[in-house]
Structure 1
Amino acid sequence: MSLYKIARTIVAIILFPLYRIQVYGKENIPDKGPVIICSNHISNLDPPVVGITSPRDIYFMAKGELFEKKFFGKLLLGIHAFPVKRGMRDRNALRKGLSILEEGNSLGLFPEGTRSKTGKIGKALAGAGFFALRSNAVIVPCAIIGPYKPGKKLIVKYGKPLDFEHYRVNKASPQEAADGIMSEINQIIDNYQNKPDLLDK
């Protein structure tokens, strides 16, 4: 069993009962082919939560400083994380992300770039739009609806794949594409807050 599978199993055993995680829409994630899963970002626990609720193995970006310690860096690589330099355009990270998608894998992104301290949706950075436009990946929006409090219910909802063809045909900018993705995530959250029964649809 790979390190990723071992870590995923251990984390799932801990987090599922702790936060009473309920998952909806996993069937919206294709079994094969390149996929970009885009989620809102409300906690440092979001990457492992997306990782344990998705039926696909996911590659995530992680801040480059975490890879400076040799042992921890190898551990992160083993669980499908790769480094990105924050605060600048990291061409190596962009190439790595595109390579992951070209190989038919899943890439997990948080379009806001940093976690929201208020729990509300923030403005998207252009990065998610770049990957969506430069690849043929299926884009799946994901909403994590908290709070992260032991014993309280945590909702993870995967929406239907987005139709990105019109963005590509109309030569949309990465920022416009990223804004479109965040709008879809926000819509999932609004639907839950206003009509919780829509989660099953």
Structure 2
Amino acid sequence: MNLTYFLGKMLAAFYFHTFYNIKITGSGKLPEKSSFIVCSNHINLLDPVVIAVCFNRKVHFMAKESLFKNKFIAFVIRKLGAFPVDRASVGLSTFKDAMKLLKSGKVMGIFSQGTRMSSVDEESAKAGVSLFAVKSESKVVPVGIKSSFKLFSDVSVNIGEPMAFSEYNKKITKEQLEDITKEIMIKIKDLSN
């Protein structure tokens, strides 16, 4: 964990514990050394920050490509572990970045619906999380966030049991990827209610 990430996480933790009533459940179930993918619902701009506060390990988030157009913002969010993704279609460079992270034992964060949404809809989720999980042989940790994010309100973060998909081989069909994604999203929906 680099100094920028550590300081950012400490400031964020102070902010959330001062201005919100943050409640975290399930955080003892996480792999300590192996790679995994944090997959969460995305209801607010602050979701990646909340997740970073809840996890002991550095979470490298996929972030929309447009955030990287401003050189200063790009510099800061790269230091915080983010890497760009074209939400319309994941390109080869994004796929390689994600696989490199996961193959080196790191933690990747992804919002499977691709953008902020007020509710979890498994039909709108993209299959990228499933593809990354199967190809890298990484577990998926589903997370449900529930909050209005109004000052001094409750922020509930429910961390589910890691989900393994080792029964699938690396030559997986599109239908199997969609089935896995649906299974993950159903779990996230349960955790966010």
Q: TM-score, normalised by structure 1?
A: 0.87
Q: Does the 8 Å contact 1:132/1:177 carry over to 2?
A: no
Q: Does the 8 Å contact 1:133/1:177 carry over to 2?
A: no
Q: Which amino acid aligns with 1:147?
A: S
Name which of structure 1's ranges 35-44 and 164-173 shifts more when overlaid on structure 2. 164-173
Residues 90 and 26 from structure 1, CA distance in 2 versus in 1: closer, same or farther, beyond 3 angstroms?
same
Aligned to 2:179: 176
Residues 177 and 168 from structure 1, CA distance in 2 versus in 1: closer, same or farther, beyond 3 angstroms?
farther
Q: Which amino acid aligns with 1:159?
A: G
Q: Which amino acid aligns with 1:140?
A: V
* Displacement of 1:166: 3.4
Aligned to 2:77: 76
Q: Unpaired runs of 5+ in structure 1?
A: 191-201
Q: Which amino acid aligns with 1:26?
A: S
User: Aligned residues: percent identity?
Assistant: 30
Aligned to 2:137: 136
Residues 182 and 168 from structure 1, CA distance in 2 versus in 1: closer, same or farther, beyond 3 angstroms?
farther
* Displacement of 1:30: 1.1
Name which of structure 1's ranges 124-133 and 170-179 shifts more when overlaid on structure 2. 170-179
Q: CA RMSD in A?
A: 1.7
Q: Which amino acid aligns with 1:186?
A: K
Q: Does 1:161 align with 2:169?
A: no
Q: Unpaired runs of 5+ in structure 2?
A: none
Q: Does 1:186 align with 2:185?
A: no
Q: Does the 8 Å contact 2:85/2:94 carry over to 1?
A: yes
Q: Which amino acid aligns with 2:59?
A: I
Q: TM-score, normalised by structure 2?
A: 0.90
What is the CA–CA distance in structure 2 between the aligned matches of 1:27 and 1:88, rounded to whole Å?
A: 34
Name which of structure 1's ranges 159-168 and 92-101 shifts more when overlaid on structure 2. 159-168
Q: Does the 8 Å contact 1:26/1:55 carry over to 2?
A: no
Aligned to 2:119: 120
User: Secondary structure of the residue that 2:145 maps to in structure 1?
Assistant: strand
Aligned to 1:59: 60
Task: For residues 55-78 of structure 1, give each alpha carbon's deviation from its aligned partner in whole angstroms, at most 9, with x where no partner exists.
Answer: 111000111222122222111111
Count of aligned positions: 188
Task: For residues 99-127 of structure 1, give each alpha carbon's deviation from its aligned partner in whole angstroms, at most 9, with x where no partner exists.
Answer: 100000000111111111xx221231111
Q: Does the 8 Å contact 2:134/2:166 carry over to 1?
A: no
Name which of structure 1's ranges 84-93 and 40-49 shifts more when overlaid on structure 2. 84-93
What is the CA–CA distance in structure 2 between the aligned matches of 1:88 and 1:162, rounded to whole Å?
A: 25
Q: Following TM superposition, where does structure 1 have runs of at least 4 consecutive aligned residues deviating by more than 3 angstroms?
A: 166-172
